[in-house]
């Protein structure tokens, strides 16, 4: 009998938790946005889109500068190695 009582008590507690959770979720249900809220959201989205595009372009410019610097560095390294080879051949 004690096991049956524990099972029923557990089921009652689980049901109580489920009802409380469902009631809580239902009370926090979303209400439709007003036209002003939708316009403000659209404006924020546009602003973020423009900022992201500008940041992307800035990133592409920095990447191009970096690649150019690396090309120049590699050319200098090749000149240096050629000069070392030339000097070591003169000995």
Residue 45: inside a domain: no
Residue 7: inside a domain: no
Residue 24: inside a domain: no
Residue 76: inside a domain: yes
| Six-digit token string for 85 | 């080879």
Give the residue with greater pLDDT, 39 vs 2. 39
Residue 63: inside a domain: yes
pLDDT digits (tens, 9 = 90+) for 67-86: 999 999 999 999 999 999 99
pLDDT of 3 higher than 90? no
H helices present in 1-91, as ranges: 2-27, 35-89
Residue 66: inside a domain: yes
Number of structural domains (the chain) is 1
Residue 10: inside a domain: no
- pLDDT class of 41 with cuts at 50, 70, 90: very high
Query: Taking the model in full, what pTM does it have?
Result: 0.50
Question: For the chain, how far is it from start to end, CA to CA, in angstroms?
Answer: 104
The residue segments making up the domain with residue 67 are: 56-91
């Amino acid at each position: 009998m004690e096991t049956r009582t524990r099972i029923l008590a557990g089921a009652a507690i689980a049901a109580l938790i489920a009802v409380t959770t469902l009631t809580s979720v239902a009370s926090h249900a979303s209400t439709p946005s007003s036209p002003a809220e939708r316009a403000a959201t659209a404006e924020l989205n546009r602003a973020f889109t423009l900022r992201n595009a500008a940041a992307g372009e800035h990133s592409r410019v920095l990447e191009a500068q970096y690649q150019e610097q690396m090309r120049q560095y590699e050319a200098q390294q090749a000149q240096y190695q050629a000069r070392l080879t030339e000097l070591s051949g003169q000995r």
